[in-house]
């Protein structure tokens, strides 16, 4: 049995990728299943999807904890999530990045294919939805499923849902990605830290379920504890603030959904880029264009 785990961000299409892969496996005569991780995840938040492929009927229904194939749809996830966790040393990985496989550090040394799926997606489908491009790369690394089946599955799945033209464009993205994938071995320099989850036993839950405001083993719990989530890794564009132009109207401060704009004592602003999701509302509401959005993740003082 082959177990595949997809790591992506909400909106990138990790779930669709898993489903298309399962469909491709069915076209090849395998049994397959595909399902997402059920959590409360929003657009831009790290998400997971899983697929299983086998010659026989699959009776396992759990999540994939020890994948044979790891697919990472967003490079920045390598820094915030232990994506390589549980990956078998005999496994393989596909990563969306502009780097060479040797520069990638997964924490496990495996055969690794890298592809600039974002670039290919922007080129062929004019949107940063990378799931189909990454499937093309997956066909190159994971030789059980042929590229033809993957292209057919993409045509079926996307053609049915979004129209024939969309299916053709997505299949083209997969074909280009198949050709451009670089194969190598990634390195294992980083330590894979176990993600800490506080799961209280019944006697640890405070009376009335009211959580106090404190830390347990370094993990904050209780009111205000979400400050430990650095949501700034979600952004693809960064606001740049020009203090000279600012007229201190506080409109950006009012309209920021994150609260990452800090209002100083003299009513000028400062950005806390650790939390900025790059939505661009601040630049939109600024009456004097003191804020402009710049592509990429930056930090300015």
CB of 188 to another protein, least distance (A): 31
Q: Rounded distance, CA 276 to CA 235, Å?
A: 7
User: Given the complex with another protein, which of 75 and 292 has the nearer CB atom?
Assistant: 292
Task: Tell me the CA end-to-end span of the chain in Å, nearest whole number.
Answer: 51
Q: Rounded distance, CA 293 to CA 11, Å?
A: 21
Structure tokens at 89: 């040393």
CB of 210 to another protein, least distance (A): 7
User: Given the complex with another protein, which of 188 and 250 has the nearer CB atom?
Assistant: 250
CB of 34 to another protein, least distance (A): 18
Within 112-203, residue ranges assigned H as helices are 117-124, 131-141, 147-162, 164-180
Check: CB of residue 185 under 8 Å from CB of residue 111.
Answer: yes
Structure tokens at 217: 């083993």
User: Given the complex with another protein, which of 229 and 242 has the nearer CB atom?
Assistant: 229
CB of 223 to another protein, least distance (A): 5
Q: Rounded distance, CA 244 to CA 292, Å?
A: 13
CB of 3 to another protein, least distance (A): 27
Q: Give helix 117-124 / helix 131-141 axis angle, nearest 10°.
A: 130
User: Given the complex with another protein, which of 142 and 158 has the nearer CB atom?
Assistant: 158
Q: Rounded distance, CA 111 to CA 69, Å?
A: 10
- Backbone φ and ψ for 206, nearest 5 degrees, come out as -65, 155
Q: Rounded distance, CA 248 to CA 239, Å?
A: 16
List residues binding another protein (CB under 8 A).
10-11, 40-45, 198, 200, 210-211, 220-231, 234-235, 247, 249-251, 253-260, 263, 267, 272, 274-275, 277-281, 283-285, 287, 293
User: Given the complex with another protein, which of 34 and 174 has the nearer CB atom?
Assistant: 34
CB of 272 to another protein, least distance (A): 7
User: Given the complex with another protein, which of 142 and 234 has the nearer CB atom?
Assistant: 234
Angle at 42 between CA 158 and CA 221, to 5 degrees: 155
User: Given the complex with another protein, which of 45 and 183 has the nearer CB atom?
Assistant: 45
CB of 38 to another protein, least distance (A): 12
């Amino acid at each position: 049995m082959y177990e595949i785990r997809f790591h992506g961000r909400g909106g990138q299409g990790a779930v669709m990728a898993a489903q298309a892969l399962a469909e491709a496996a069915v076209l090849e005569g395998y049994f397959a299943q595909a399902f997402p991780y059920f959590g409360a995840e929003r657009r831009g938040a790290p998400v997971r999807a899983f697929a299983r492929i086998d010659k026989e009927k699959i009776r396992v229904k759990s999540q994939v904890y020890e994948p044979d194939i790891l697919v990472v749809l967003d490079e920045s996830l390598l820094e915030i999530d232990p994506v390589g966790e549980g990956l078998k040393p005999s496994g393989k990985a596909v990563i969306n990045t502009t780097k060479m496989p040797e520069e990638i550090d997964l924490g496990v040394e495996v055969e690794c294919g890298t592809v600039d799926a974002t670039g290919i997606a922007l080129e062929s489908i004019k949107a940063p939805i990378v799931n189909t491009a990454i499937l093309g790369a997956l066909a190159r690394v994971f030789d059980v499923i042929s590229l033809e089946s993957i292209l057919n599955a993409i045509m079926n799945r996307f053609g049915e849902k979004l129209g024939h033209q969309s299916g053709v464009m997505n299949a083209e993205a997969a074909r280009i990605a198949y050709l451009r994938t670089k194969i190598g071995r990634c390195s294992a320099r980083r330590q894979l830290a176990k993600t800490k989850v506080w799961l209280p036993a019944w006697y640890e839950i405070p009376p009335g379920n009211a959580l106090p405001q404190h830390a347990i083993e370094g993990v904050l719990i209780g009111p205000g504890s979400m400050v430990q989530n650095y949501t700034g890794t979600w952004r693809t564009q960064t606001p740049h603030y020009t203090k000279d132009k600012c007229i201190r109207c506080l409109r950006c401060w009012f309209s920021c959904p994150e609260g990452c704009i800090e209002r100083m004592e003299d009513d000028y602003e400062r950005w806390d880029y650790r939390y900025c999701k790059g939505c661009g509302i601040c630049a939109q509401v600024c009456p004097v264009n003191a804020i402009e959005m710049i592509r990429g993740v930056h930090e300015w003082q």
